[in-house]
Amino acid sequence: MSSADTSLLPFVIYFVAVLLLVATMLGLSYLLGQRRANNATNLPFESGVLSVGSSQIQMSVEFYLVAIFFVIFDLETVFIFAWAIAFFELGWQGFIAIAAFIFVLGVALIYELSTGALDWGIKSGQGLHPEELH
């Protein structure tokens, strides 16, 4: 056996073990699983409550935009935490770099607020007005 074969052997064993585990779980669920169906089998059910209405609701595009902005700004906090952990090792150069980073984030947030990108509620001029809701 060559050294390349020896180094791949654990991966091959792991792959075969995973395939055997998956096949065993699927086989046991098929053999031991319940086979009878009744009228309630295909009904959507969650937490003991039967669903009412369609599960296909339409969400506003602005909702997804706000969600993407949240993920982006949440990811930026990871960089700030990493900087905070290495604060003493980075010195003033690291402080200036993170200050510029936070400044750019602040400018981006102000820009998003000014363009209305974070407003995902009912817009005036579109849809229902607040007085029509009552």
Q: What's the CATH number where 117 sits?
A: 1.20.58.1610
* Phi (first) and psi of residue 4, to 5 degrees: -65, -40
Segment 62-74, tens digit of pLDDT: 778 888 888 888 8
CA-based radius of gyration for the chain? 27
Domain for residue 68, yes or no?
yes
Q: How many residues does the chain have?
A: 134
Domain for residue 86, yes or no?
yes
Please give the structure tokens belonging to residue 26.
């699927």
Domain for residue 117, yes or no?
yes
DSSP three-state, residue 45:
strand
Domain for residue 113, yes or no?
yes
Averaged pLDDT for residues 92-111: 93
Give the domain extent around 73: 61-121
Domain for residue 29, yes or no?
no
Domain for residue 48, yes or no?
no
Domain for residue 97, yes or no?
yes
Segment 31-79, tens digit of pLDDT: 988 777 777 666 666 666 766 767 677 777 777 888 888 888 888 888 8
The whole-angstrom separation of Cα 132 and Cα 110 is 32
Amino acid at 99: A
pTM, two decimal places: 0.47
User: Between 61-85 and 87-115, two packed helices, what is the crossing angle to 10 degrees?
Assistant: 160
The pLDDT-based confidence of 85 (bands split at 50, 70, 90) is very high
The whole-angstrom separation of Cα 84 and Cα 98 is 9
Task: Count how many domains the chain has.
Answer: 1
